[in-house]
Structure 1
Amino acid sequence: MKQINTVSIALKPNVYSTFRNLNNTVSNTLGEYVDNAVQSYLNNRELLLSVEPDYRLKITIAVNWERKSIVIEDNAAGIDTDNYERAFEPAHVPIDDTGLNEFGMGMKTASVWLANKWRVYTKALGESMQRYTEFDLHKVTTEGREELLVTETPMPIEAHFTRIELTELSNHAPTSNQMDKVRRHLSSIYRKFLRSGEVEIKVNDVKLEAPCFDILNVPYYKTPKGNSILWKKDVNFEAGEYKARGFIAILDKIQNNANGLVLMRRGRVIVGGGDERYFPQVIFGSPGNFRYKRLFGELELEGFEVTFNKNGFRDEEDLYAFMEALRDELRNDGFNLLGQADNYRQRDREQHSDIAKNVTKALNKESKPKQLTRLVQETENKINDQQHIMQSEQLIQQAERLGGNSESFTLGKELYTLNIELVSENDSDSIYSVTMGDVDSNEKTLFDAMESKLVTCKINIAHPFFTRFDQFKKGNDYMPIISVFKALTLAELMAPNYGVQSASKLRLLFNQNLMQ
């Protein structure tokens, strides 16, 4: 086995500083490390399985804000002797450039984009040495370094891994508020590998799961009494040098960020891994129409070249022409997917009409003469009892937290954190309460402390409202009403910006009306 003492970093040192200015996203950048690990696994799958029959590729990404570090680790086959020098020399493509790491720039540009310093430990399966090297952007640029020292350490030949440690993070590094988005994007980008079960990816100890959406299964809109059809069109389409494999289908229910096409190449999502999907007008029509909202699909493309940072296809005109040709496949008489997507909306309206009739019947059954007048009078009596209202609010505000979650958002130029907390307080009239600041500052209501950026919504699951209706039995049963309280909390926060005074009064009246 060849001994390696140094590796070339080839480019003029000042070129590395320009990497920091590349137009990229955190998710795509972290994806470069995942690409390398997945490709190492694919290239050495048989060897890995021969050594470990139950082998599964595991990739972990750990961001530590206290230490200002990012650690990416995988148990793939490691960087072997033949590829080691190529791995660190920018623009030196790998021996096999038909995989995910085709450009030979991923690890280097990603690491410089994210951090000033990085270290790489790797041990190739079947070799007897672990190799370690480190990169310091400041030293490289000021001292004109064009080589990195490599330290070799003996290690058992059956060991295999790569560990990359990034420190002195740049301002591109992810914040804690970005992590949910990073997980969602990486789950989407590597959906094919995650679904296969061959690859496990964890981001800050959270295991990623591939997105999955239910497909419409109803009769054709022209024959509503006919047999149900699964509205999914398998695609196996060729036009010249270009090919597409996958499916296009109709969503069972409209969901945010579910519609649109996801375009893949070599198993990795290129377009649609983030919050934006691909919506060729020849297939989806205009934004806002029913087809646009409900069509979705995944296509593995061949013949199209990708951009340097793998977030788009170069041949945009050819891609659009390809979609035009594909459109005819989606609207043939035997299986008119586009026609169903356009016209199934009318069936939804009919179902909504049936629901409205049933609701009307139930409302008429519940209505009693003068009942509403009595309820309003009782609410007015209670709302004027300031001591009772204050005591009811304090009880729920001081109640012990049983569970909940936090989300960050921006309003105007201010960053807020919204805490949703579930409590159980039998003696309070309030089904929910909103405060600004720590719970201990309960003498201050939301609009008495506008300088604070922490908003807490406490939801009282012991409130009689939840025992009055049979549907509140399991955790998921509460989600729709919790979404309502979340929206009311945000409305209360935003209302003063639109001239509303004493916005919290609406919540107090709401709580008292709900008790009647």
Structure 2
Amino acid sequence: MENKNSNYKALDIRPKTSIFETYKKYNYKPHFALAEFVDNSTASFFDNKETLNEFYSSKGINGFQLKVYILYIKNETGLKIQIIDNAFGMDSANFRRAIVLGEKPKIKTGRNEFGMGLKTAATWFANKWSIKSTQLGSNEEYSVVMDIDNIVETGVDSVNVITNSVDENKHYTILTLEKLNKTLPNRNKKNLMNLLTGIYRKDILDQNISIVYAENMGGKWEDVNGNKYDKFQHIPPFSYEPVKPRIIKVGELPNVEEGTVCVKQIDETLVFNGISHKITGFIGLRDKGSRALAGFALFRRGRAIIGGFENNYRPKEIYGDSGSYTYQRLYGDINLDSFPVNQAKDGFSWDDGLEEAFIEMLIPICKEYKSIANKLRVNEESAHNNISIEQANASNQILEKVLGGTITSIDNLKSSNDIAPEILAMYSEDIKEYNNKLSSKHLDSKIVFKSGDKLNIEMFFKINTNPNPKEWLNISVLDEEFRQYKFSLNIEHKFFKPFSENSEFIIFIKDFASAYAASIIKSRVGSPSNMVDPISITDSINKYLIALAEEQNMQQVEE
């Protein structure tokens, strides 16, 4: 309901309003579009933090915190998105700059330096958007409705700004997006918010800001996990857990002191084209490797431009290929406050050679930790080597029942000298790689089962860890007459990443690969011409998978 003291004032929104149509075609990603709104909120907060703290301190409240609510609502008119903050708010001049094209903020060293983000992101999201705001200490609230379709169609050059009287102690901005062009994805909303949280993780860790996502699709507020709340204000904010760095254990590396934390600070100056760029932050090695989450997060003015949660910066000149230990462990936060950014603030404008100069500067800084990473990899077993004998035996017991055969580890065959030299040679590379500790590879095994004619089939299974393989599974004939075959599971295949870091996943995919290979070989030996029938393979693998699931369930019940 409008305040009885409301008044209207026309606001000139020229230049040509047709430019709004182009904003709909921007190449935003949802989390970066939402970040445009959060940038405005945080800029308002940081530019006026001292005033806000003084105001709340006078009321006995210490440590004012910015709160940003991202609300996704379904009502009788359809879907809408609201962004509500308790920042300093806008006076009439700042409100005008938020609406009028080409109006830049007075302070150009903040996060809303271009003065375009709210307009572009709001129009990208919605055909109709409105904003209302009041500044702390003002008794006036300003609001405006931007009906983009109507503005473009009619070519109007002004919109009405409504002014209402409010309590001068209030301060907020409410942005409402309606008639949506882009909706928030139904799936992976948690990942969307993780990406947004990653962008502002420094603010969150400093407890300057809290970000809350709430959804109301049927009268009840829910968080991203579906938990229900009476009010969106009761939903806990997103948090960020800092990366745990690697701490060197006793005797783990020669000439490296026990307890050494693998993190070092960066404080450099890069001179490029006559401009000095101050570069600060840190690099380090993750305690737990992650192909998805390792890498550098590149910040500008306290806000991540590249990375932050995932999709971190990993130049090949430093990280090498995706199978390297460096690729999984090297991480860091690097501040590039003076580097130019694109308008969407989802990347740097450094194609003039600045990026190459930056990488060249980083290479010697990262050299020590790359060396440590490589030494650690020699000493540290990968996931498939962390699989215990008990885990391997449990998996083999299930497969034996499903395939109706026997499974013997290569360890046992070697110790009993019950393995042909040419077969053992297949594993010689692994014997060398793992310092003759063949027993660490408990999953390498010989699988014997019968075909339709009751004759034995022998399959030799091997795990491969070669980086960047082209095939996920290799099946080859060792001796057709004696029905001996080999199949290798390439756990470093791109499709398996980052799951191949999980030993339980490796057992799962090993069981599946065994059933798949058995189905193919069974079909082959059952054919007079050694041809593989896809229908019989499908039928066989379906039966094996059902049997696998049943046996796994029974094993869990017994445990």
Whether the aligned pair in 1 keeps the contact of 2:211 and 2:237 (CA below 8 Å) is yes
What's 2:189 paired with?
179
1:288/1:8 CA distance change after superposition, 3 Å:
farther
**Once the 2 structures are TM-superposed, how far is the Cα of residue 481 of structure 1 from its aligned partner?**
10
Whether the aligned pair in 2 keeps the contact of 1:61 and 1:71 (CA below 8 Å) is yes
Distance 2:511 2:42 in 1: 44
**Once the 2 structures are TM-superposed, how far is the Cα of residue 162 of structure 1 from its aligned partner?**
0.3
Whether the aligned pair in 2 keeps the contact of 1:376 and 1:513 (CA below 8 Å) is no
1:231/1:352 CA distance change after superposition, 3 Å:
farther
What's 2:363 paired with?
327
Query: Is structure 2 residue 386 aligned with structure 1 residue 345?
Result: no
Whether the aligned pair in 2 keeps the contact of 1:63 and 1:69 (CA below 8 Å) is yes
Whether the aligned pair in 2 keeps the contact of 1:115 and 1:166 (CA below 8 Å) is yes
1:415-455 CA-partner distances (Å, limit 9, x unpaired): xxxxxxxxxxxxxxxxxxxxxxxxxxxxxxxxxxxxxxxxx
* Equivalent residue letter for 2:23: F
What's 1:26 paired with?
30
Query: Is structure 2 residue 165 aligned with structure 1 residue 154?
Result: yes
What's 2:246 paired with?
216
What SS does the corresponding residue of 2:312 show, helix, strand or coil?
A: coil
What's 2:73 paired with?
64
Query: Is structure 2 residue 338 aligned with structure 1 residue 303?
Result: yes
User: When the two structures are superposed, what TM-score results if normalisation uses the length of structure 2?
Assistant: 0.65
Query: Is structure 2 residue 294 aligned with structure 1 residue 259?
Result: yes
Whether the aligned pair in 2 keeps the contact of 1:128 and 1:157 (CA below 8 Å) is yes
What SS does the corresponding residue of 1:230 show, helix, strand or coil?
A: coil
What SS does the corresponding residue of 1:13 show, helix, strand or coil?
A: coil
1:91/1:482 CA distance change after superposition, 3 Å:
farther
Question: Which of 116, 124, 137 is matched with 1:126 structurally?
Answer: 137
What SS does the corresponding residue of 1:5 show, helix, strand or coil?
A: strand
1:217-239 CA-partner distances (Å, limit 9, x unpaired): 01586417842210001111112
* Matches for 1:414-453 after TM superposition, within 5 Å: none
* Matches for 1:257-406 after TM superposition, within 5 Å: 257-273=292-308, 275-316=310-351, 317-331=353-367, 336-349=368-381, 359-360=388-389
**Once the 2 structures are TM-superposed, how far is the Cα of residue 125 of structure 1 from its aligned partner?**
0.9
1:34/1:20 CA distance change after superposition, 3 Å:
same
What's 1:203 paired with?
213
What SS does the corresponding residue of 1:99 show, helix, strand or coil?
A: coil
1:146/1:222 CA distance change after superposition, 3 Å:
same
Percent sequence identity is 25
Question: Which of 549, 552, 558 is matched with 1:507 structurally?
Answer: 549
Larger radius of gyration: 2
What's 1:169 paired with?
180
1:489/1:323 CA distance change after superposition, 3 Å:
same
1:170-203 CA-partner distances (Å, limit 9, x unpaired): 1x22122141121111111001100000111101
Whether the aligned pair in 2 keeps the contact of 1:213 and 1:258 (CA below 8 Å) is no
1:117/1:206 CA distance change after superposition, 3 Å:
farther
1:31-90 CA-partner distances (Å, limit 9, x unpaired): 011000000001111111111133211000011245401010000011112312111112
**Once the 2 structures are TM-superposed, how far is the Cα of residue 94 of structure 1 from its aligned partner?**
0.6
What SS does the corresponding residue of 2:336 show, helix, strand or coil?
A: strand
Distance 2:507 2:145 in 1: 51
Query: How many residues are treated as equivalent by the alignment?
Result: 398
Question: Which of 67, 71, 77 is matched with 2:88 structurally?
Answer: 77
1:321/1:152 CA distance change after superposition, 3 Å:
same
* Equivalent residue letter for 2:359: M
1:80/1:160 CA distance change after superposition, 3 Å:
same
What SS does the corresponding residue of 2:334 show, helix, strand or coil?
A: strand
1:351/1:26 CA distance change after superposition, 3 Å:
closer
1:501/1:167 CA distance change after superposition, 3 Å:
same
* Equivalent residue letter for 1:163: I
What's 1:139 paired with?
150
Query: Is structure 2 residue 58 aligned with structure 1 residue 40?
Result: no
Whether the aligned pair in 1 keeps the contact of 2:293 and 2:309 (CA below 8 Å) is no
Question: Which of 118, 121, 131 is matched with 1:107 structurally?
Answer: 118
1:267-303 CA-partner distances (Å, limit 9, x unpaired): 0100114631111223222332111111011101132
Whether the aligned pair in 1 keeps the contact of 2:253 and 2:376 (CA below 8 Å) is no
* Equivalent residue letter for 1:166: L
Root-mean-square deviation (CA, aligned residues, Å) is: 3.5
Whether the aligned pair in 2 keeps the contact of 1:259 and 1:295 (CA below 8 Å) is yes
Distance 1:175 1:57 in 2: 26
1:286/1:483 CA distance change after superposition, 3 Å:
closer
Whether the aligned pair in 2 keeps the contact of 1:221 and 1:343 (CA below 8 Å) is no
1:225/1:322 CA distance change after superposition, 3 Å:
closer
* Equivalent residue letter for 1:216: R
Whether the aligned pair in 1 keeps the contact of 2:72 and 2:81 (CA below 8 Å) is yes
**Once the 2 structures are TM-superposed, how far is the Cα of residue 339 of structure 1 from its aligned partner?**
0.9
**Once the 2 structures are TM-superposed, how far is the Cα of residue 319 of structure 1 from its aligned partner?**
2.2
**Once the 2 structures are TM-superposed, how far is the Cα of residue 256 of structure 1 from its aligned partner?**
4.2
1:292/1:51 CA distance change after superposition, 3 Å:
same
Whether the aligned pair in 1 keeps the contact of 2:291 and 2:322 (CA below 8 Å) is no
Distance 2:511 2:168 in 1: 59
User: When the two structures are superposed, what TM-score results if normalisation uses the length of structure 1?
Assistant: 0.70
Distance 2:512 2:43 in 1: 45
Deviates more, 1:218-227 or 1:146-155: 218-227
Distance 1:363 1:131 in 2: 65
**Once the 2 structures are TM-superposed, how far is the Cα of residue 330 of structure 1 from its aligned partner?**
3.2
**Once the 2 structures are TM-superposed, how far is the Cα of residue 509 of structure 1 from its aligned partner?**
3.3
Distance 1:481 1:207 in 2: 33
1:273/1:231 CA distance change after superposition, 3 Å:
closer
1:325-370 CA-partner distances (Å, limit 9, x unpaired): 2322333xxxx222101221011039987x67xx44x799x99xxx
Distance 1:59 1:488 in 2: 46
What's 1:236 paired with?
267
1:349/1:504 CA distance change after superposition, 3 Å:
closer
1:73/1:485 CA distance change after superposition, 3 Å:
farther
